[in-house]
Structure 1
Amino acid sequence: MSIALNRGISRPRHLSLTMLASLMPLAALAAEPVALEQQVITATQTAHSELSAPASVSVVTREELEQRPVYNLADAVKYLPGVQINPSSTYGRKEIKLRGLDADYTLLLVNGRRINSRDVLTSEYANDFDLSSIPIAAIDRIEVIRGPMSSLYGADAIGGVVNVILLQPSNQTRAGIAYTYEAPTVGDSGDSHKASGYISGALIEDKLLGNLIVEGVDQAAWRSDQTVSSDADAAEHRQAGSIYGSLSWLLDERQTIDVDITHRQDDRVANWYPGLRYGVVQNDQEMERTSFGLAHSGRWDGINSRLRYYYEDVELTDGSELMTRFNGNVVGQAEQQNHTVDGQLSGIVAGQLLTVGAERRRTEFSHNQNLGTETNVDQYAVFLQDEFSLGNLDVTLGGRWDHHEAFGSEFSPRAYGVYNLTDNWVIKGGVGKSFKAPAIYQSDETYSVAACQGFCRVKGNAQLKPETAISYELGTLYQNGGFEAGVTLFQTEIDDMIVSDRWRAGYRPTLMTYSNISTARVRGYELLGRYAFDETLGLRANYTYSDAEDREADAPLNNTPQHIANVGLDWRAVPALALNLDYQYVGSQWLSTPAGGAQESGAFHVLNLGSRYQATPQLALNAGMNNLTNEKRDDVAQSVDNILMGRTVFVGFSYDI
């Protein structure tokens, strides 16, 4: 795994000094002294602290995941600065937006490997299947990078990166089970159950280590009187089961071979109201996802190496009623296979930490409803990164060359600096270029999907160009003991933005497509802070302002609030009992409505309460309430069935051996 790249490498002087400066969450402060060793690897694929990382970085730890009812990645990162969890369907699906940019610009990774089923589902169906693809019980931590990272990861990382780091086995034998139940107190049904179990340890001590994790989720459909049609679901019925296993073979003190396999079955059913033509229809989708990874890591006297292959197979059975009617009552069968081989070397050369790597990726895609023939897309890339110090200034320079067989080559450079005012206070900033190649569903002229409530089709456009972006950020961050504070200014300008044609007054064709017509700019700032009053009480807060504008239309971007604020209070009432209170404010935003075009939807607030009681060293109990005040969104949001889940209560336990 990429985290092993940094073993045995001595970093330049200033990079080493700041590595000790990051903070653990305030929930941990209440139990023990501050640990200044939290590392992130996503920003450079080499180890840094949150303070020294050449990017805007946030980390969600395993302890934080265990405090709340978390069902997918959106639930896990919703309180981080710069993050917006956007409703991406009218029946409860979600997507992660970073710094006001669409979710298509957020790259999702697992152990540094991209996960992607966008071509199977298209943007109109959201990437909620991707957010749910990894069992929460298997996650060690989540790293979120806000800002472009195409210099390391290629396409799709214009807005940033969400990287899930999975639990790794050790010699210690461990096992446990966990269960959470959540129930709405308003509306009809919607109860959810999540259960998991794990076992981890040595099959051969100091030689062969493994773990096995299983997880199941069952969430009933939820009905609300806020939906346009009383027969439509505000949240879909979900049933999912996952199994994750990994083996680490320690060949010797220098070499490790890691193998991991994940399989998930994810079934969704929802009653949906697309409009008057068909009335309420049923959306029935079943996705089966299998992934496999094989990696060799080596440490060779100051040079670390990694070579790996990973594979992802996504199969979707789509019985959604509107689509099957539109395609001669044929149930959709889609399959996407992603093959990737990559490698990299990292080491100190003349006092500088150099990282060089290459990647080859092939996507194979078939769809019986929307695609003429099976499609293969090959992509190649090489990248180089240099980290060095000039006095108190740590500099990171990088660049990646990507070649896409359909859209040619793109070069993505990046420059970033971290100036160490003290061991606890830095000024950081940089500039980067990034890009996003059109997806298969956007560019293949034989791929078309139903739109306009079933009255039209949107097909691919082979003449599309990749989207490109230039991003800037400048900020400062201070961390010392139980106190943290920071501010970051950011701006991203996107050229050749890909948009889908839509009906409007006097314009209602039966066949539409995608085009490069828009230029967008998002600029704003982020504020963040934490403060531990003492060993039992801590406060954390962040605020994001983003001005997102379609510059061609001289209009705000839809689904992008200008203001998002989060405030959290962590209190250890007694040594065994931890309480957390979280408040989130989401400002007004513009939504696209069928009847009135773009309309402004008002702000809303959500208040959540959670608790964790350590009854015994092995048994922990959880309980709490989400949306305490039963907040509702306004009439504009309800007119497009953007429904906020009502007040819910949850209880759960975990038992570890």
Structure 2
Amino acid sequence: MPSTSVCFPRRPLTTLVCGLLALPGLAHADPQEATLKPVVVTASSVEQSLRDAPASVSVITREDIAKRPVQELAELLGTVEGVTLSRSGNQVPGVQIRGLGQAYTLMLIDGKRVNSTNAMFRGNDYDTGWVPVSEIERIEVVRGPMSSLYGSDAIGGVVNVITRKVGKTWRASARTDLVLQENREAGDSRLVSVSASGPLIADVLGVRLTASHDHREPDGAINTPATPGASAQPGLQLLDNRQLGALFTWTPHAQHEIKLSHDDSRRNHSGFVLERQATSLSHHGRYGFATSDVTLNLDRTRNRVGMITGQSNPNVADSHSLDGKLMLPWDSARQMITLGGELRRDKLSDPTNLTGWPGTASYRASSHAEVSQRAFFVEDEFQLSDTLKLTVGNRYDDHENFGGHHSPRAYLVWHATPEISFKGGWAKAFRAPTLLQGSPNWGSVSCGSATAGCYIVGTPKLKPETSTSKEIGVRYEGAGISGGLTLFDNQLKDMISIDSRTANRTLAPSYSNFVGYLPDGRPIFAYQNIASVRSKGLELGGRLTLNRQWQLSANYTYTDAKNTSGSSKLPLTYRPKHAANISVDWQPNDQWSFNTTARYSGLQYINVPANGQNMLTKAAYSVADLSVGYRIDKHFSVRAGVLNLTDQNDNRSQSTDFNEDGRRYFVSLSADF
């Protein structure tokens, strides 16, 4: 095995190229070696190759996932170009795409919407973890708005987690991970996952069963106080997650498939527990003239504790939806027309926060709220020539409280040569206020105290947020090498905010969203449309196959995201302008495999007051990992390695700062039958 060098955080960017410096003489890729072309399903209404997809799409493969233990999916998504992670409160990170916040990323599981915001409004960091990582086939990340297909919440982009299919033969797998921290004050973690799938009746009835449990101990005293005598900031939190799932597939006819699935999950984030029961029934039909998909989703999320530390305020959120689409190929006109629609109803029962204002006549009159919306969309793919394709579409959403809104999109793909393609598009998108933000009966304590702080409430006066996005890019796919460059520009208007609030009872009336006082004197503030945001930048990524043994992939993102609401532009928090990732794989034979990765995060703001004064920043840093895998036989394999080689784990002295997990060692055992 060749020697490798490790780069240290004094010059963070150099960590990204140290894998290259350790490579032996580069060999040319074998022209005879076949490369499987990725196929994606999220960027349009039909399955397409990555090269033809009318959007900027990144794919995380099952092989990528297997290279290291992953407890939270956000950790993997943070290595994709255009993706950054929110870190508010040092909780589990949330996914941000192209500089837009976590709320503007739509999470899907096998194309089905997942959103726990109504049950946990204070930063929903749960939705990236409802699926056990071991059962993921791939993850498709669409960077850019997709409201023309998916409606509200897809302003920033879409993350679609695609699970493993039920095969025609039986398979079973099991995996266990153990991660040990070098700093014994930090929390160790472990994971166990098992699954089995196969036919109950050949070509007619199949089943997939899954179960998993992962656990991370909370950190101890890993941070030191900012000043003598002060309290130290807490480290990373307790995580304890469990999942049970079943999927049945029934094929009564060769042209028709029916799926019934149910998942039961429990996620504990530092004592705040969400339990989710999700049932789905779908039908896929193929006809002589068209193809159809219809899905019924029943999703219930129980918040067992509430959202206020030290209190017990449980709630129950339900989301029911029926959606379908009909794909109509028009071969003589070289078009693919898709017609689709959705009916959705969201409900919330919250005896604590959905009760009106404390002390008023209507207080506790009702603890329920619900809202419905319906949508219709059309998409048309025009094959203008053998090398030029235009995709146009529009979705009309009719919201019970906020009326109708259009989300049009146009996207052009031109294959200039067999290797070089140009892409570009324009889209408008919208995001309706959440059930809580738009409800006049919803309210919650805030401003740091449940008794002496302030109170925040919803309001039906809000307008939906809207965005206009443009992008243009070029992609190259040749023998052993592929990559692309994309420029993007997003403008978001009427951003919904509750940042304007104070516990100061004298200053409160001077705030534009002040609506009154509670009987005990606490000031009340309503959500409001105040902010506009502009985010622009570039994404660069590529993959190089040097020969049958060596492969390198890398990406770089430049993001300039600013709040443009006031007289002066202010940077957004947790959005580093510069971010990069590199991964080097070496497989000398069929048994051994080696991987080294490095992640660079540039300087970022971690606190930006509204007046632009006394802003706090976090310096640039790099994290590098190393792992080695050994296949024992055709059924068993083991992988081990070191995460965060250089122990990059700055002391967290500010509440808005965040810790990276320090140096730790892992071992993974896998069995596949």
Same-fold call, TM > 0.5?
yes
Alignment of 1:260-409 (within 5 A): 260-269=261-270, 284-318=271-305, 322=309, 324=311, 331-349=312-330, 350-372=333-355, 373-391=367-385, 392-409=387-404
SS at match of 2:46: coil
Superposition deviation, residue 502 in structure 1: 3.5
Check 1:475–1:400 CA distance in 2 against 1; reply closer, same or farther (3 A cut).
Answer: same
Q: Residue 166 of structure 1: which of 147, 163, 169 is its match?
A: 163
Contact kept? 1:137, 1:213, Cα under 8 Å: no
Whether 1:518 aligns to 2:518 is: no
SS at match of 1:223: coil
Contact kept? 1:323, 1:450, Cα under 8 Å: no
Deviations 1:617-645 (A, max 9, x none): 11110111221111134767x44341221
Superposition deviation, residue 442 in structure 1: 1.7
Contact kept? 1:604, 1:632, Cα under 8 Å: no
Q: Residue 490 of structure 1: which of 488, 491, 505 is its match?
A: 488
SS at match of 1:215: strand
Q: Residue 147 of structure 2: which of 147, 150, 168 is its match?
A: 150
Distance 1:433 1:321 in 2: 36
Alignment-derived partner of residue 277 in structure 1: none
Superposition deviation, residue 451 in structure 1: 2.3
SS at match of 1:288: strand
Deviations 1:290-309 (A, max 9, x none): 10110111100141011120
SS at match of 1:142: strand
Question: Bigger CA drift: 52-61 or 439-448?
Answer: 439-448
Alignment-derived partner of residue 48 in structure 2: 48
Check 1:230–1:654 CA distance in 2 against 1; reply closer, same or farther (3 A cut).
Answer: farther
Alignment of 1:242-641 (within 5 A): 242-269=243-270, 284-318=271-305, 322=309, 324=311, 331-349=312-330, 350-372=333-355, 373-391=367-385, 392-454=387-449, 455-503=453-501, 509=508, 510-553=523-566, 554-592=569-607, 598-633=615-650, 638-641=654-657
SS at match of 1:528: strand
Check 1:374–1:634 CA distance in 2 against 1; reply closer, same or farther (3 A cut).
Answer: same
Matched-pair identity in %: 34
Number of aligned positions between the proteins: 604
Contact kept? 2:447, 2:502, Cα under 8 Å: no
Q: What is the one-letter code of the residue matched to 1:173?
A: W
Alignment-derived partner of residue 203 in structure 2: 206
Check 1:606–1:508 CA distance in 2 against 1; reply closer, same or farther (3 A cut).
Answer: farther
SS at match of 2:309: helix
Alignment-derived partner of residue 359 in structure 2: none
Check 1:417–1:593 CA distance in 2 against 1; reply closer, same or farther (3 A cut).
Answer: closer
Q: What is the one-letter code of the residue matched to 1:341?
A: L
SS at match of 1:133: coil
Superposition deviation, residue 443 in structure 1: 1.9
Question: Bigger CA drift: 526-535 or 573-582?
Answer: 573-582
Distance 1:189 1:96 in 2: 24
Contact kept? 1:602, 1:634, Cα under 8 Å: no
Contact kept? 2:445, 2:455, Cα under 8 Å: yes
SS at match of 1:234: coil
Deviations 1:566-601 (A, max 9, x none): 111111133311111111111111222799753222
Q: What is the one-letter code of the residue matched to 1:105?
A: Y
Superposition deviation, residue 224 in structure 1: 4.1
Provide the aligned C-alpha RMSD in A: 2.1
Q: What is the one-letter code of the residue matched to 2:283?
A: H
Distance 1:402 1:227 in 2: 51
Distance 2:643 2:441 in 1: 45
Deviations 1:181-239 (A, max 9, x none): 11211251411110011111110011101110111111111124326575764122222
Distance 2:636 2:652 in 1: 45
Contact kept? 2:574, 2:604, Cα under 8 Å: yes
Deviations 1:519-554 (A, max 9, x none): 110011111111111111111111111111111232
Question: Bigger CA drift: 612-621 or 216-225?
Answer: 216-225
Query: In terms of Rg, which structure is larger?
Result: 2
Question: Normalization by structure 2: what TM-score?
Answer: 0.86
Unaligned runs of 5+ in 2: 1-28, 356-366, 509-522
Distance 1:593 1:628 in 2: 31
Q: Residue 642 of structure 1: which of 658, 661, 664 is its match?
A: 658
Alignment-derived partner of residue 236 in structure 1: 237
Superposition deviation, residue 319 in structure 1: 5.7
Question: Bigger CA drift: 58-67 or 380-389?
Answer: 58-67
Distance 1:220 1:593 in 2: 31
Q: What is the one-letter code of the residue matched to 1:563?
A: H
Deviations 1:410-449 (A, max 9, x none): 1000000000112221000000000111112222222222
Alignment-derived partner of residue 7 in structure 1: none
Contact kept? 1:227, 1:643, Cα under 8 Å: no
Check 1:214–1:230 CA distance in 2 against 1; reply closer, same or farther (3 A cut).
Answer: farther
Superposition deviation, residue 85 in structure 1: 2.0
SS at match of 1:441: coil
Deviations 1:153-200 (A, max 9, x none): 000111100001111101211112110011211251411110011111
Whether 1:653 aligns to 2:655 is: no
Distance 1:341 1:651 in 2: 43
Deviations 1:93-120 (A, max 9, x none): 1100111110100000011111011111
Contact kept? 1:83, 1:97, Cα under 8 Å: yes
Contact kept? 2:193, 2:211, Cα under 8 Å: yes
Alignment-derived partner of residue 22 in structure 1: none
Distance 1:285 1:524 in 2: 36
Superposition deviation, residue 347 in structure 1: 2.3
Deviations 1:365-388 (A, max 9, x none): 111221122111101000000012
Distance 2:633 2:231 in 1: 46
Superposition deviation, residue 88 in structure 1: 3.2
Distance 2:539 2:269 in 1: 36
Alignment-derived partner of residue 16 in structure 2: none
Contact kept? 1:604, 1:633, Cα under 8 Å: no
Question: Bigger CA drift: 451-460 or 36-45?
Answer: 451-460
Distance 2:306 2:224 in 1: 23
Q: What is the one-letter code of the residue matched to 1:567?
A: I
Deviations 1:252-286 (A, max 9, x none): 111111111111022233xxxxxxxxxxxxxx322
